[in-house]
Amino acid sequence: MSKSPVYQIPQNHSVSPGALLGSLYNGIRRSILRFTAVNELENLSDQQLRDVGIDRHQIEQVAAREIAKLYAK
């Protein structure tokens, strides 16, 4: 069993409250978008999923990939 490295923030590095809140907001927003996408795709029938080119086992991957694309723009 390997030990995980311990990461420490350098003493001269400070994070502004605005940046921290922005990061937290974006993380929550991404999680909600992903949950919504997965939920909607899971409610489709197998035939509907095939029509759009997705297998049921790919739903999580597709949702994560599409949300990553949204944030990459």
- H/E stretch holding 64: helix 59-72
Q: What is the reported pTM?
A: 0.69
Please report the pLDDT score of residue 37 as a whole number: 95
> What are the average pLDDT values for consecutive 10-residue runs of the chain, which has 73 residues?
60 76 91 95 96 96 93 81
DSSP string, 30-55: HHHHHHHHHHHHHTS-HHHHHHTT--
With b for 16 or more beta-carbon neighbours within 10 A and e for fewer, the 37-72 pattern comes to: beeebeeeeeeebeeeebeeeebeebbeeebeeeee
Please report the pLDDT score of residue 11 as a whole number: 63
Q: So where are the chain's domains? A: 29-72
